[in-house]
């Protein structure tokens, strides 16, 4: 089987964790590396968590690189209120024994994309877009060399989750997002419009636990922890599961529906900082720059995740 090469850029976070674990379990994907970014929690913790994940999956062959510790030109906003003080509260995961790889994650991104055949590496972004923007600014040639950038971020029909108009990843570093959305890279966006449909009901969490392996138990513990905030906020039966939509889109795009549209990022407004202004109805003639995913089949989504997590230790 021809594997597709991917690099994660991430701020784990329980939902980042499930996205990464799913990819590490999937023979269709060759995870070349994981680059961390400050987001849900500070960089030292996102890096620690990424290392804990590769160890949980028995995949310490996958290097973890430290990336940016703050947004391009704003103070860092974090989300311990959702993810807990460690960012990965829930399961009792041991301190990692593995160290981060040497060098900066942004350089790893650039060098890897340049050294591989054009069109062969896909970047999967699960956090604020600081590293991705820095890589594109430092090495604009990688926009064309990438097979694509698939990211979780933004929202249009569902509004925002950190302000009424902004989703967390875009809100934290809107300047970076503006660079990325204007870069010409082939972009696929998994916004709140679809992630809000992927709810981790009790049955779905139980299905992970019943797998009986350590990874399944860890995923169940993570989701049981991280869902409490959203369940209270939305009063839904389960919390949205955001970042795994990116991995699922890589594995089974037919689960999802969307369309090519223009998306611009609001960077100036106080009320609307980080809003993804998505021209879903084509009311402007601005150039289309993203495939915007609006919906997906949540049963197939959870079936895929559960089956893949079941392959791990
Ligand atoms: C996004 O924000 C983070 O808290 C999650 O990990 C996800 O990437 C959802 O808005
Ligand atoms: Ca994330």
Question: What does the block give as tokens for 297?
Answer: 């089949």
Structural contact between residues 276 and 155, judged by C-beta atoms closer than 8 angstroms: yes
How many A from CA of 108 to the centre of ligand 1? Answer: 23
Residue 83 falls in the annotated catalytic set: no
Q: What are the structural domains of the chain?
A: 4-309 (3.90.245.10)
> Which amino acids bring their CB within 6 angstroms of ligand 1?
13, 15-16, 40, 79, 82, 126-127, 152, 161, 167-169, 242-243
Question: Could you tell me the CA-to-CA distances from 189 to 94, 131, 216 in Å, in that order?
Answer: 33, 17, 27
Question: Could you tell me the CA-to-CA distances from 264 to 81, 156, 174, 288 in Å, in that order?
Answer: 28, 11, 10, 10
Question: Could you tell me the CA-to-CA distances from 64 to 29, 53, 215 in Å, in that order?
Answer: 17, 10, 19
According to the model, what pLDDT value does residue 227 have? Answer: 76
| Average pLDDT of the segment spanning 209-230 | 92
Which residues on neighbouring strands pair with residue 152, listed in sequence order?
A: 190
pTM over 0.95: yes
Best mutation site among 9, 36, 42, 242 for ligand 1, i.e. most ligand atoms within 8 A of its Cβ? 242
Question: Could you tell me the CA-to-CA distances from 127 to 22, 205, 211 in Å, in that order?
Answer: 17, 23, 28
Element of type H or E holding 257? strand 256-261
* CA dist., res. 2 & res. 32, Å (int): 14
- At 84-132, the pLDDT tens digits run 999 999 999 999 999 999 999 999 999 999 999 999 999 999 999 999 9
Is it the case that residue 229 has pLDDT exceeding 80?
Answer: no
Give the single-character DSSP code of 312: -
Structural contact between residues 179 and 289, judged by C-beta atoms closer than 8 angstroms: no
């Amino acid at each position: 089987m021809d594997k597709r090469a991917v690099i994660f850029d991430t701020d784990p976070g329980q939902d980042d964790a499930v996205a990464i674990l799913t990819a590490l379990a999937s023979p269709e994907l060759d995870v070349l590396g994981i680059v961390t970014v400050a987001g849900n929690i500070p960089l030292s913790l996102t890096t620690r968590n990424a290392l804990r994940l590769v160890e949980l999956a028995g995949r310490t062959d996958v290097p973890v690189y430290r990336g940016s510790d703050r947004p391009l030109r704003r103070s860092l906003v974090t989300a311990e209120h959702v993810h807990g003080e460690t960012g990965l509260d829930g399961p009792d995961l041991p301190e990692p024994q593995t160290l981060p790889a040497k060098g900066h994650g942004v350089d790893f991104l650039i060098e890897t994309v340049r050294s591989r055949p054009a069109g062969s590496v896909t970047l999967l972004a699960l956090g604020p877009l600081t590293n991705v923007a820095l890589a594109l600014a430092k090495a604009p040639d990688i926009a064309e060399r990438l097979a694509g950038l698939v990211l979780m971020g933004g929202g249009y029909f569902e509004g925002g989750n950190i302000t009424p108009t902004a989703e967390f990843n875009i809100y934290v570093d809107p300047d970076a997002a503006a660079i990325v959305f204007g870069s010409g890279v082939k972009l696929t966006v998994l916004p709140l419009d679809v992630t809000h449909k992927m709810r981790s009901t009790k049955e779905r969490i139980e299905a992970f636990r019943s797998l009986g392996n350590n990874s399944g138990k860890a995923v169940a513990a993570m989701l049981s922890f991280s869902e409490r905030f959203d369940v209270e906020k939305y009063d839904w039966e389960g919390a949205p599961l955001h970042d795994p939509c990116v991995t699922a889109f890589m594995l089974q795009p037919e689960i999802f529906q969307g369309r090519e549209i223009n998306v611009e990022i609001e960077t100036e407004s106080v009320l609307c900082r980080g809003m993804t202004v998505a021209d879903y109805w084509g009311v402007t003639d601005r150039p289309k720059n993203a495939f915007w995913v609006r919906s997906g089949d949540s049963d197939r989504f959870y079936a895929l995740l559960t089956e893949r997590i079941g392959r791990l230790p």
